Structure 1
Amino acid sequence: MWLLFEPVHAVTYFASDALGAFEEAGLRGFWRGYFAGRCAPLGAVNAGPVIAAFYGFAPRMVTRALPDVWTRITPEAALEARRIGSRRTLGKAVADLPGRDVAEAAGLLRAAAETVDVTGRVLGAANAALPWPEDPVDVLWQAATVLREHRGDGHVAALLVEEVGGCESNVWRVALRDGDGRDFYQPARGWSDDEWAAALGRLRARGWVDENGKATGAAHGAYDTVEGRTDRLAAGPWKALGPDATARCAELLYPIAVRASRLLRHPNPIGLPELT
């Protein structure tokens, strides 16, 4: 289900119409829009809570954006900018699909999102507390966002249990790709060369990375553990929705997710594969 609702959410980061909405609201530069839009449900917070919640980002990258971004836009305006941008994007993406199918998908996704357990899940809770819009395309994006942030909070918890820090999580990801992608992931998350090297050393000391910077069998096993725990922690909404309704939701979401995926950057920092 993550492969189907994540592309719907992720248009807010990568689609030109979504990025343009933040620029229209007065935010120049990708990262200002990213941080303002994603943490707006928390209110005009300082960097501290966002460093904790966003996890994989270097603290200095967060402090460059916050709280300065709130001198340029209010959280309320940022919420509206992300709604406008995602609505423009997804509206075009689903224009050739039957409206009743889009509305049914939105209703099922909302039904799942309304059941999320937000205990200990800061970003999931903040998005779940927002009022629901009326337009089916807006509902579709908001439901995907609630489910996405709910799952992400659980993923952070799974990483914490395995004692994997923010920088280590990025180094580990690259190691799992046989060392490929550092030039992409390191700057996207703001870690310095020294921080990257130190995290690599800690992973090597755990036996997760070999002398060539590639993941060991132990690292792959730990990856399966973290992903399995993340999936279990994210399963609640789909259990509540039930197998038949979940299967119908997946059927309806697939063509929407494919169209949304075409608007994303591949590869992307969130690790979402291209759907065809």
Structure 2
Amino acid sequence: MTTDALESRAGRRCQNPLNTLHATHYFSPDLGKELAAVGITHPRAVNFAVRAAALGPVGPGAVTAVFYNYKHELVAEHVPAVWRTATPEQVLAARARAVDATLRRLLGDGAVASEEMAEAARLALRATEACSRSARPLYSAHADLPVPQEPHLALWHAATLLREHRGDGHLAILMSAELDGLEALVTHTATGRGMTPSWVFTTRGWTREEWDAAAGRLRERGLLDADGELTERGVALREEIEEETDRLDRAPYEHLGAEGVRRLTELAAGFARAAVTTGAYPADLIGRR
């Protein structure tokens, strides 16, 4: 284990581009193609299946619990029915094929086969050595999966582990802050870094009326103003949530060490920029409106 000093937000800055790389497949036509090949065609069913498959053929309650910000009724429309169409093992294999195709399309075969890709995979996998399974169901389920041999898939796998490790801890902090799933989405969108409301309605199942009701509860707590913007108290709460998430997520990055984190951030950011530039994400995905 390395012991060089790590700046307090270094792990967050490293995880951000890794998460950008991880999430490309959710918006990729390759994912829909590969899941359709095993019989799953509804976009929402695809989303639930690929992220929950590592848990096994679980029911809607488990998926709602670990995803946190999806409306339970939407989850129940597709889970567990999706497992009658394809097994979790089939879904995971289809997901791997989709990730391979997506990264090759977005980054190019040269980047996929590069020494920089292999280096990033080694660094990211080293960081995952210090992840903790305790109270982290999505991380722990993905940690049971084998590490792919090809570097670009190994990097994606490690990015997934680091994303879910941070995410599981983040949910504990949201609960401590007494933000339910929709309130968490509303406050995140208000920062300007979360999904637009239209994408929340499309992918999470909430309605405009439910969004407005959540915003009303947040105004009563003094976290949002009349225009739907974060108040000073709301800004402070969101930053406290991120800082506490950093604290729960510091072990992988302390294990990797400051120089390793710096280099992994540099490499991951380069790949993430290339993916975004190539059109990995919808233009209207992020924003307040």
How do 1:50-69 and structure 2 match up within 5 A?
50-69=63-82
Aligned sequence identity (%): 35
Partner Cα distance (1:140, 1:58) in 2: 31
Q: State the Cα distance separating 1:130 from its structure 2 match.
A: 1.0
What is the CA deviation profile of residues 228-270 of structure 1, one whole-angstrom value per residue up to 9, with x for unaligned ones?
111222221110011122222223222222222234224576x
Deviates more, 1:90-99 or 1:136-145: 90-99
Amino acid at match of 2:53: A
Aligned to 1:226: 241
Matched, 1:9 2:22: yes
The answer to whether structure 1 residue 96 and structure 2 residue 98 are counterparts is no
Residues 74-108 of structure 1: CA distance to partner in whole angstroms, max 9, x if unpaired? 00001101111001111331423362221111111
| Alignment of 1:265 onto 2:281 | yes
Q: Given the two structures, how large is their TM-score scaled by the length of structure 2? A: 0.87
Task: Give the counterpart letter for 1:36 in structure 2.
Answer: A
Closer/same/farther in 2, CA of residues 99 and 211 from structure 1, 3 Å limit: closer
Measured in 1, the distance between the counterparts of 2:76 and 2:125 equals 33
Within the alignment, does 1:121 sit opposite 2:139 as a pair? no
User: What's the counterpart of residue 49 of structure 2?
Assistant: 36
1:212-251 correspondence to structure 2 within 5 Å: 212-251=227-266
Give the 5 Å matches for 1:52-201: 52-92=65-105, 93-97=107-111, 99-177=114-192, 181-201=196-216
Paired with 2:267 and 2:202, the residues of 1 have a C-alpha distance of: 36
Unpaired runs of at least 5, structure 2: 1-13
CA contact (8 A) 2:24 2:281 kept: no
Q: Which amino acid aligns with 2:23?
A: A
Q: Are the equivalent residues in 1 in contact too, given 2:21–2:156 (CA < 8 A)?
A: yes
CA apart distance, 1:184: 3.2
CA distance in 1, matches of 2:279, 2:25: 10
Deviation at 1:3, TM superposition (A): 2.0
What is the deviation of 1:72?
A: 0.8
What is the distance in 1 between the residues matched to 2:60 and 2:47?
Answer: 14
The structure with higher relative contact order (CA 8 Å, sep 6+) is 2
